């Protein structure tokens, strides 16, 4: 099914990953001067002038001039490995600044592979290249540089976190799901909460791979850590679209939507409550929905609630003499809706104990919701976890249990 949220709408844009390091800091500068004392790491005079000029131009962010100066070095023959390394490093910085990522990547890659670049500088260069490619939306190359970065020992959390987003944008959904899952597992093992981005990307990757079961599991993890209405709407929608889901459970779904902030069909919930004879909840939902509920329906719910309020005690007494507990359950939940929770829960319990119920699982769900409404979360969770029926009842109860555990 189509997720109700867009997992990567602004993940990379909001990350701040990009030109996180000064390009001039990645050119040789001071380290270059210090190297001149080493016998095998000297720059000949014919190369020194254009290289110094290129260095100065990079510092001034005049990248076109820097590239022009570096072009003069191409004519010099028999360059030493160290001279080639310095040229590549300067060319990488200048090309990166000018937006020529292909040249920057080639030059920096050769500088790294030369074996002359210090390990710390290699990690810095790789981090910069990741940022450049990410900003240019060239995600395959951003992924390639990130892989080199990790192999070189890079451990900047922002870069590692963005790696899965880059993999996703590059279309590598298997890689994105693998690495996001690993990051989430590592966070949980360390007793930390995974980031919202990591979970969103994992969900999106499973969705793209049409792995519906895994997708639902991840959205469940999402509402556990980040119980936002959009995420709840997505998870609930996944449940109520399952084959064989009973229409009888839509009212319990509406109740869950209401307490998770994602109820939109107020009028439909009012209608279902009135059909089931639960006028107290019908009126409460109609009042809460306001303009979303037709005035005629609001009036109908108000009239039904007023009528029931007058006779509910008598009806409850009569229902206790019935052979089955169906009416007791309905009346009990109606009492809960009117705020008489102790009496309502007592009647719900009596109705369930009496038996002969047409929909026993619904009765348990109503009892669990009643416990939830009065803040008795341990009892609510225990009741929800006792629902084992099919047609979606156990699925709905499971989601209610998750919500109850959140307090």
Using pLDDT thresholds of 50, 70 and 90, give the confidence band for residue 27: low
Measured in whole angstroms, the distance separating CA 124 from the mean position of its chain's CA atoms is 29
Residues 365-388, mean pLDDT to the nearest whole number: 95
- Tens of pLDDT, residues 188-238: 999 999 989 889 999 999 998 888 889 989 999 999 999 999 999 999 988
Listed residue (274, 235, 259, 265) closest to 371, CA to CA: 259
Domains of the chain: 23-151 (1.25.40.10), 178-226 (no CATH), 248-405 (1.25.40)
Average per-residue pLDDT for the chain: 87
**Mean pLDDT, to the nearest integer, of 279-299?**
96
> DSSP characters for 346-404?
HHHHHHHHH---S-HHHHHHHHHHHHHHTT-HHHHHHHHHT---TTTHHHHHHHHHHHH
Averaged pLDDT for residues 269-283: 96
Q: What is the pLDDT of residues 325-335, one digit of tens each?
A: 999 999 999 99
Rounded CA-CA distance 49/72 in Å is 10
Least confidently predicted of 162-176, 275-289, 336-350 = 162-176
Question: For 95-123, how does the pLDDT look when each residue is reduced to its tens digit (9 = 90+)?
Answer: 988 989 899 889 988 998 898 888 888 89
Instruction: Give pLDDT, residue 39.
Output: 57
* Structure token digits, residue 306: 């007023």
What is the C-alpha to C-alpha distance for residues 117 and 119, in angstroms, rounded to an integer? 6
pTM, two decimal places: 0.76
| Residues whose CB falls within 8 Å of the CB of residue 386, separated by 6 or more in sequence, listed in order | 364
């Amino acid at each position: 099914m189509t997720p109700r949220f867009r997992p990567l709408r602004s993940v990379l844009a909001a990350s701040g990953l990009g030109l996180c390091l000064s390009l001039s800091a990645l050119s040789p500068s001071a380290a270059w001067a210090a190297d001149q004392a080493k016998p095998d790491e000297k720059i000949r005079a014919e190369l020194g002038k254009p290289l110094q000029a290129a260095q100065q131009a990079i510092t001034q962010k005049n990248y076109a001039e820097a590239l022009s100066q570096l072009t003069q070095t191409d004519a010099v023959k028999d360059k030493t490995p160290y001279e080639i390394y310095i040229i590549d490093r300067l060319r990488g910085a200048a090309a990166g600044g000018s937006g020529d990522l292909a040249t920057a990547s080639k030059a920096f890659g050769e500088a790294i592979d030369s074996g002359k670049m210090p390990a710390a500088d290699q990690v810095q260069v790789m981090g910069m290249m990741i940022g450049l490619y990410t900003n240019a939306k060239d995600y395959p190359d951003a992924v390639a540089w990130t892989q080199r970065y990790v192999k070189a020992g890079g451990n900047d959390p922002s870069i590692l976190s963005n790696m899965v987003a880059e993999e996703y944008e590059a279309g590598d959904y298997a890689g994105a799901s693998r690495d996001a899952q690993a990051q989430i597992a590592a966070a949980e093992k360390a007793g930390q909460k995974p980031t919202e981005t990591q979970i969103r990307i994992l969900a999106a990757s499973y969705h793209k791979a049409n792995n519906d079961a895994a997708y639902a599991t991840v959205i469940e993890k999402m509402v556990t850590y980040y119980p936002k209405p959009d995420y709840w709407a997505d998870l609930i929608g996944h449940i109520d679209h399952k084959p064989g889901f009973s229409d009888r459970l839509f009212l319990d779904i509406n109740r869950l939507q209401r307490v998770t902030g994602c109820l939109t069909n107020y009028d439909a919930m009012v209608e279902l409550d009135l059909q089931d004879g639960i006028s107290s909840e019908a009126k409460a939902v109609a009042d809460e929905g306001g303009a979303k509920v037709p005035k005629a329906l609001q009036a109908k719910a108000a009239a039904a609630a007023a009528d029931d309020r007058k006779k509910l005690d008598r009806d409850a007494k009569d229902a206790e003499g019935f052979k089955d507990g169906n009416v007791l359950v309905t009346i009990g939940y109606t009492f809960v809706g009117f705020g008489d929770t102790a009496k309502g829960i007592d009647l719900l319990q009596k109705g369930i104990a009496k038996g002969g119920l047409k929909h026993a699982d619904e009765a348990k769900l109503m009892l669990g919701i009643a416990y939830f409404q009065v803040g008795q979360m341990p009892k609510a969770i225990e009741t929800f976890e006792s629902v084992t029926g099919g047609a979606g009842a156990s699925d709905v109860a499971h989601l209610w249990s998750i919500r109850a555990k959140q307090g």
